[in-house]
Amino acid sequence: MTSRPLLLVTGGSRGIGAAVCRKAAAHGYDLLINYHSNNIAAEAVAADCRVFGANADIVQGDTATEAGIESIFRAVDRLGSLYGLVNNAGVVDVTARVDEFDRARLDRMFAVNVIGKIRCATEAVKRMSTRHAGQGGVIVNISSMAAVIGSPGQYVDYAAAKAAVDTFTVGLSREVATEGIRVNAIRPGIIDTEIHASGGLPDRARDLAPIVPMQRPGTADEVADSVLYLLSPQASYVTGAILNVSGGR
């Protein structure tokens, strides 16, 4: 145990989640790094965090399942008082039109990107809220500019899921505003991470750079900097906010 605040990052083994973990460790947080399947990648991120003096543990858990959520929060309870949740775990699917979607795709999309986020927030609130004898805390949900743009011809289902995250962020923030918890969201734009490859478009960030006003994709580190701001005392009067990190798109 240390005096450093404990931060849980879901989907912390790669991309934006991994960048958040490393930045948070450098800013004085201890980390619980959730991963779905790649324990080697998660342990590599944890090792990077320990360089900064952080206690960094990893925990396997699929946020789309109740068993996964239970595993994650059992680990939280072993480590101590939870200060922050970065609700980052998410998935995309291959590019397709709405008339090509099947039920299995939609079930997975919403189980991870919406229900999983709500369930993680539920468990975090039970531990943070002054209503439940907690000490307060911060939740940062990772949304997407897809929620605004709609992503036609690519993944409207992903966009719809992220729009649900936006609405959930606003509603939860107002629900727990008097209970010591701040809830905000980040909407990344076109960010150069591995998620594009998992959707079958490994060069998507580079290919779409010309449609971004700043003429380049963003980096995971740039998103992480915004997350760290929302976690920090400098954002003490910020709740219910959705911050676009999108290069102006």
Compute how many other C-beta atoms are within 10 angstroms of the C-beta atom of residue 119.
21
Candidates 35, 83, 155, 158; catalytic one: 158
First to last CA, the chain: 43
229 is known as an active-site residue: no
Strands of 181-188's sheet in order across = 56-60, 30-35, 6-9, 82-87, 137-142, 181-188, 242-245
Helix axes 15-26, 220-231, angle to 10 degrees: 50
Compute how many other C-beta atoms are within 10 angstroms of the C-beta atom of residue 192.
18
Cβ atoms of 124 and 137 within 8 Å: the answer is yes
Q: List, in order, residues 6 or more apart from 6 with CB less than 8 Å away.
A: 29, 30, 31, 32, 76, 79, 80, 81, 82, 83, 84
**Side chain identity, residue 222:** E
- Quick one: how many helices (H) and strands (E) in the chain? 10, 7
Q: Which residues are catalytic?
A: 158
